[in-house]
Amino acid sequence: MGRERAILPPVAQRIPRQVTIHGYVETDEYAWLADKTKTDPEVLGYLKAENDYAIAMMESTSELQESLYREMLGRIQETDQNVPYRKGGWHYYSRTEEGRQYPIYCRRRVATEEIGAEEVVLDLNQLAEGRAYFSVGDYEVSDDGRRLAFTTDAEGFRQYDLFVKNLETGEVTPRLAERVTGVVWADDNRTLFYTEEDEVTKRSNRFYRCQIDGRGAELLYEEKDELYRIGVARTRSGGYIVLTSSSFTTSEVHYLAAARPAGDLRRLRARREGHEYYLDHLSGTFYVRTNDRGKNFRLVRIPVEAAELTEWPEPVEEVIPHRVETMLEEVDCFAGHLLALEREDGLSRMRVLDLGNGEWHSIEFPEPVYVAGPHVNAEFESKTYRFSYESLVTPRSVFEYDLGTRDRQLLKQQPVLGDFDPQLYRSERLFATASDGTRIPISIIYRRELELNGQRPLLLEGYGSYGISNDVDFSSNRLSLLDRGLVYAVAHIRGGGELGKEWHDQGKMMQKMNTFTDFICCAEHLVGEGYTSPDRLIIMGGSAGGLLMGAVSNLRPDLFKAVLSYVPFVDVMNTMLDASLPLTVGEYLEWGNPNEQPAWEYMRSYSPYENIEAKEYPAMLIRTSLNDSQVMYWEPAKYVARMRTLKTDQNPLLFRIKLEPGGHGGASGRYDRLRDLAYDYAFILNQVDGQVDGQVDGQVGGPVGGEAGD
């Protein structure tokens, strides 16, 4: 990076440790970073040295970072309020104030708009005072509106403490429980049900009933099987508390009536390997989304009284059949309507069933690339439905849809200050062809006036794990790259959920390599179609997407100019072999169990840490947090340390680690997040310096960026 050449990178101590597994001897020179505690002076010393090095190496871009920060901040309406939603006799909303990091949660009585009528329910800025990190997890108001149950994390480790606030007096209880993962109220407004995670593995495994009048918590259920985690919810009808225990392939549901909180849990159906089912309720009927007839689920309904029978009456009434081409992702039940949230051709769909006349209709969306999903719909007896919609071009928008007339009203669109004009941008859906003939979708956006001659810098993002769909979204921050002439694309690779359950299955376990080769074929397609070239192609991914970044960098380092990897899962073998680490055992159903030799050999073939070689690699920026509870800090630390000893190029390798409290998603404060993003964008622009256009009065103009990269 120009004048930074004289700065020497940190060198981690090498203490080889050998482990023999399945007849193979593995040597790990940096295992000490995992073996020692995160407060150990040697560990902290090395991590701080990496941080200092990364900051120094980017010092020449400090003005660009500040410019990017101000630019991105200038598009945000700092003092703002989201769309209020009704629950009982109140309208609830959150708002932000200029200069304050966190939102303020508020409410007003229905039909009360006079000055002074606002009631502050929870001010996160006050709670976060003096803290480097703060997050609220659950936020549940009792039916009578008198109490708030909420959970907080002040470290970033996703370990949440439970409190209850009396909204009439403002009094907050002492901590009622720790490591809480979910909370719901019963009908009586004083009984809480909550789930709690294991202290070591962080697997959500215990279910409690708690009387907030002082009686202690009662353990109702404990999930013993380490492959399963539990979650609690209350049906929108308010009728039932639902406890779902699930692995990555199987689920089981218990329930009890919310009006009888002292009652016993009942099981809907015993677990059967490979059978997933999920429960909702309305009008004396259970609606069950089940994969018993196919991977993409169908919907059946069963009278509540029949659900408790040993054998359900056959044939069970089918509401939505299984369809090979359509994934039934969720069902949303209201008093008079049912919403089916589906995915087809990689796009989200919404269909409405009128329970009165049995007629179906679809909610239509205008763009070829978008994402739509439910907004807050707290009222069961509602004739309208709120959903959010956004695309690469359209800012996040909240609509209210009349379920009867089918009219929609835009309630709010995310403000983008300045001279943003969506007509200046073009979004497309492309398809790359994998080596086995599978068509892989790519979503893409760029300025309309760009000449796509193979010379444009392009940022390609990917994820591809857990059946999670990597949906496109709108980002006002991204405009700082687009307006400088970069193209942005998302590769919807196998392992994700964009094209249904089969799409996920084709990119996990012993087919995981498809995820990586799909991403490479997307990159090759973009090069071949003239969108970019390898010396202008930058790739980005986080968590399991960070594993993707590590794998494709090993497989095809020649294809990429630079890599941004966030909290990357790159030490796959060592993590999956340590069952004491958070969430590891349950992950066997996604990655395989390395204690079994075939799974170990397959994982060994792609695990980024083990496959680093003495060759040239792209420039890299890797980020993590010391308190990340999902991907431990030592994974990227070990990866960087080994990469430094083996790579033969002079390209920058930068490692930023948040030593102050921070989590899997980085900083919690909105201004802090923008500062981090300005650094990352400056890194990108520095790598393609001389290949991008500057921004002058909102138009594409002259050069910008730091010094040329090494």
Residues 6 or more apart whose CB falls under 8 angstroms from that of 28 comprise 16, 17, 18, 19, 574, 638
Is the preceding peptide bond at 313 cis, omega within 30 degrees of 0?
A: no
* Listed residues 272, 287, 322: the one ending a domain: 322
What integer is the mean pLDDT of 132-153? 95
**178-189 average pLDDT score:** 97
CB atoms within 10 A of CB 95: 15
Q: How far is CA 697 from the centre of its chain?
A: 34
pLDDT tens digits for range 542-582: 999 999 999 999 999 999 999 999 999 999 989 999 888 88
Give the pLDDT of residue 70: 97
Q: Name 20's bridge partners.
A: 25
Please compute, for residue 517, the number of CA atoms within 13 A of its CA located in the half-sphere on the CB side: 15
Separation CA 114–CA 97 (nearest Å): 20
Q: Are residues 195 and 315 in the same domain?
A: yes
Establish if 44 belongs to a structural domain.
no
Region 1-13: mean pLDDT is: 73
Q: What was the pLDDT predicted at 311?
A: 65
Rounded-to-5 percentages of helix, strand, coil across the chain = 20, 35, 45
Using DSSP bridges, classify how beta strands 285-290 and 298-303 pair: parallel, antiparallel or unpaired.
antiparallel
φ/ψ (deg, to 5) at 163 = -135, 160
Instruction: Tell me the pLDDT tens digit for each residue of 279-289.
Output: 999 988 999 99
Residue 21, pLDDT > 60, answer yes
Considering the domain architecture, whether residues 318 and 455 belong to the same structural domain is answered as no
Report pLDDT for 313.
64
Both tokens of 294, joined, read: 């196919």
Q: Does residue 690 form part of some domain?
A: no
Mean pLDDT along residues 173-184: 96
φ and ψ at residue 534, rounded to 5 degrees: -55, -35
Q: Note whether 300 and 431 are same-domain residues.
A: no
Q: Is 215 a member of any domain?
A: yes
Tell me: the pLDDT tens digits for 378-396?
Answer: 999 999 999 999 999 999 9
Q: Of the listed 543, 553, 625, 629, which one is catalytic?
A: 543
Given 306, 322, 338, which residue is the final one in a domain?
322
**What total number of domains does the chain contain?**
2
Closest CA to 496 of 519, 466, 517, 473: 466
CA angle 606, 645, 566 (to 5 degrees): 55
* DSSP symbol at 173: P
Residue 374 in any domain: the answer is no
**Is residue 701 predicted with pLDDT exceeding 50?**
no
Q: What is the pLDDT of residue 1?
A: 45
φ/ψ (deg, to 5) at 516: -75, -45
What percentage of the chain reaches a pLDDT higher than 90? 85
Q: What's the pLDDT score for residue 660?
A: 86
Residue 240's pLDDT band, with cuts at 50, 70 and 90, is very high
Residue 36 burial by Cβ neighbours in a 10 Å radius (0-12, 13-18, 19+): middle
Q: What is the pLDDT of residue 301?
A: 93
Instruction: Give pLDDT, residue 309.
Output: 63
pLDDT band at 669 (very low <50, low <70, confident <90, very high): confident
Residue 308: predicted pLDDT: 65
State the average pLDDT over residues 484-502: 96
Structural domain ending residue among the three candidates 322, 354, 370: 322
Which pLDDT score, from 0 to 100, does residue 583 have?
76
pLDDT, average across residues 305-315: 69
Judged against a pLDDT cut of 90, whether residue 343 lies above it is answered with yes
Catalytic residue, chosen from 471, 628, 680, 693, is 628
Give the Cα separation of 702 and 692 in Å (integer). 9
Tell me how far CA of residue 659 lies from CA of 112, 168, 169, 667, 679, in angstroms.
46, 39, 38, 11, 17
* Residue 397 within any structural domain of the chain: no
pTM for this model (two decimals): 0.92
492 is catalytic: no
The tokens for 281 are 């309720």
Residue in 270, 320, 323 with CA at minimum distance from that of residue 294: 323
Quickly state the pLDDT bin for 2 (edges 50, 70, 90). very low
- Segment 428-454 mean pLDDT: 95
State yes or no: pLDDT of 418 exceeds 80: yes
* 135-144: average pLDDT: 96
Confidence at residue 310, expressed as pLDDT on a 0 to 100 scale: 59
Same domain as 287, residue 142 = yes
The verdict on 296 and 431 lying in the same domain is: no
What is the domain-level CATH number for residue 252? 2.130.10.120
Report the C-alpha gap between 609 and 624 in whole angstroms.
Answer: 16
In a domain, 154, yes or no: yes
Per-residue model confidence (pLDDT) at position 654: 98
Domain containing residue 435: CATH number: 3.40.50.1820
Does 264 reside within a domain? yes
Active site annotation includes 91: no
* pLDDT of res. 212: 87
* Model confidence at 706: pLDDT above 50: no
In the chain, what percentage of residues exceed pLDDT 70?
Answer: 94
Residue 104 pLDDT > 60: yes
Q: Is the pLDDT of residue 612 over 70?
A: yes
Q: What is the mean pLDDT of the chain?
A: 92
Question: 176 with 308, same domain?
Answer: yes
Confidence of residue 446 (pLDDT cuts 50, 70, 90): very high
Query: What is the token pair recorded at 32?
Result: 């000490």
Tally the C-alpha atoms within 13 A of residue 239's C-alpha that lie toward its C-beta.
15
Evaluate if residue 709 carries a pLDDT over 90. no
Same domain, 287 and 162: yes
**pLDDT(491) > 80:** yes
Dihedral, CA of residue 565, residue 571, residue 576 and residue 577, to nearest 10: -170
Which band of pLDDT confidence, cut at 50, 70 and 90, is reported for residue 692? low
Residue 375 known to be catalytic: no
Range from 60-69, 210-219, 220-229, 598-607 carrying the lowest mean pLDDT? 210-219
pLDDT, tens only, 40-89: 999 999 999 999 999 999 999 999 999 999 999 999 999 999 999 999 99
Domain interval for residue 212: 131-322
Note the pLDDT of residue 315.
Answer: 73
Catalytic residue among 135, 518, 664, 689: 664
Unique residue bearing structure tokens 């080596």: 435
Report if residue 471 sits inside a domain: yes
| CB 55, CB 676: distance < 8 Å | no
